[in-house]
Amino acid sequence: MSSALQSLASGLCPWLEPAFQQFETARTQRHLGHAWLISGQRGIGKVNLALVLAHRLLGAVAVPAALDPDTALAALAVRHSPMDHHPDLHWLHPEEDKETISIDQVREVIDTLSLTAHRGVAKVVIIEPAEAMTTPAANALLKTLEEPSARSYLLLLSHQPGRLPATIRSRCQHLKLKPPAARTVAEWLGVPPSLVTEVQSSVGEAPLQVAAAVKAGESSIFNKLEVDLCGISEDRIDPLAVAQSWFKDHTELALTWLGHRLHDELRARATGAGVSTEVTVPPPATLHNAWRDLPSRTLFDQHERTEKLLNQLGSGINVELALQALLNVFQVDRGSM
């Protein structure tokens, strides 16, 4: 196994310890289910936890060490790169230039589960994200959940478990991950809690997203992103130039920030905090005013597209082209059409 995946399999982010202990209790008490649903927002550490659990199932006995922020971020960035895996660990995610996990992918891994484990211990499949499965793929997986192969385990990672069929959710034991307190994240990063709280206002509570922002020097980056989006919305900046800039520097952080901004704007509109009225209270005011001529439907679609693109990072998609298509819509004269 590559050093990147090995670090994620042998080390654990501190806030994931309760979920790990819940799994360990089920394992030692022989209540271990065939399928586990690991849910939580993007950037909370689902991949880290899944790899630790997978290697526990595959025979690892060492207690996972504490995983530091730099190692976690570096390893997660390359997790889908071609590399050596444990021969009994299989990983399903959308293929290059795809948004979904196909029935053929699921059928292939089901066939693999019917074989004897290479190292004679167990076979584990990680599905990331599980909601990316097409309906036929989910139906094919359901048959495996109902009639599991001996000593085979499925770890379904999901940002949005509600999008999974109820028949699949009901057949899984569930580990629901919640964001840790700002103080916990601050201790992990070695920064003041006030800085974590400030960053959370721009990218949300997911600790790995917060870590990426802190490591990148968040204040200047977020200011630049704000200027970029306002410039596009007011037809002062070419979306192509912004797409090239975002692609070159901090793509995932920029998309995370954008998704959070869109979510906040949609929530404000839903609660009646002014759909088209100009406001003057910073920091949300700048983008709110720039977007006030864009329909809520457009902003909702943009939020969905941003989430999809985040899911596709590292899959081989032409990210720069996808960014340009996404940013084009924020031009008011186009987006309001």
- What order of strands is seen across the sheet that includes strand 35-39? 89-92, 123-127, 152-158, 35-39, 173-176
Give yes or no: residues 164 and 36 share one domain: yes
Where residue 234 falls among pLDDT bands split at 50, 70, 90?
confident
* Mean pLDDT across 305-322: 82
pLDDT given at position 103? 95
* Mean pLDDT across 80-107: 84
Please tell me the distance from the alpha carbon of residue 178 to that of residue 180, in angstroms, as a whole number: 6
For the chain, percent of residues with pLDDT exceeding 70: 91
Query: Residues 122-162: pLDDT tens digits?
Result: 999 999 999 999 999 999 999 889 888 888 999 999 998 99
Where residue 317 falls among pLDDT bands split at 50, 70, 90?
confident
Question: Do 327 and 243 form a contact (C-beta atoms < 8 A)?
Answer: yes
Give yes or no: residues 25 and 119 share one domain: yes
Residue 142 structural domain: 3-176
Q: Is the pLDDT of residue 93 over 70?
A: yes
Q: Is the pLDDT of residue 315 over 80?
A: no
Give yes or no: residues 150 and 209 share one domain: no
Give yes or no: residues 111 and 199 share one domain: no
Give yes or no: residues 164 and 72 share one domain: yes
Total-model pTM: 0.78
The residue among 161, 190, 214 that closes a domain is: 214
Give yes or no: residues 149 and 37 share one domain: yes
Residue 155 φ/ψ, nearest 5 degrees: -115, 105
Give yes or no: residues 141 and 109 share one domain: yes
Question: What's the gap between Cα 82 and its chain centre?
Answer: 19
pLDDT given at position 337? 40
pLDDT given at position 85? 73
Give yes or no: residues 312 and 206 share one domain: no
pLDDT given at position 63? 86
pLDDT given at position 280? 43
Give yes or no: residues 57 and 123 share one domain: yes
Give the mean pLDDT of the chain: 87
CB-count exposure of residue 33 (10 Å: 0-12, 13-18, 19+): middle
Q: Which residues contact 171 (CB under 8 A, 6 or more apart)?
A: 35, 142, 145, 146
Give yes or no: residues 140 and 242 share one domain: no
Give yes or no: residues 154 and 120 share one domain: yes
Give yes or no: residues 117 and 197 share one domain: no
User: How many domains does the chain contain in total?
Assistant: 3
Return the number of other C-beta atoms located less than 10 Å from residue 226's C-beta: 19
pLDDT given at position 83? 65
Query: Residues 156-213: pLDDT tens digits?
Result: 999 989 999 999 999 999 999 999 999 999 999 999 999 999 889 888 899 998 998 8
Query: Residues 78-92: pLDDT tens digits?
Result: 777 766 678 899 999
The CATH number assigned to the domain holding 82 equals 3.40.50.300
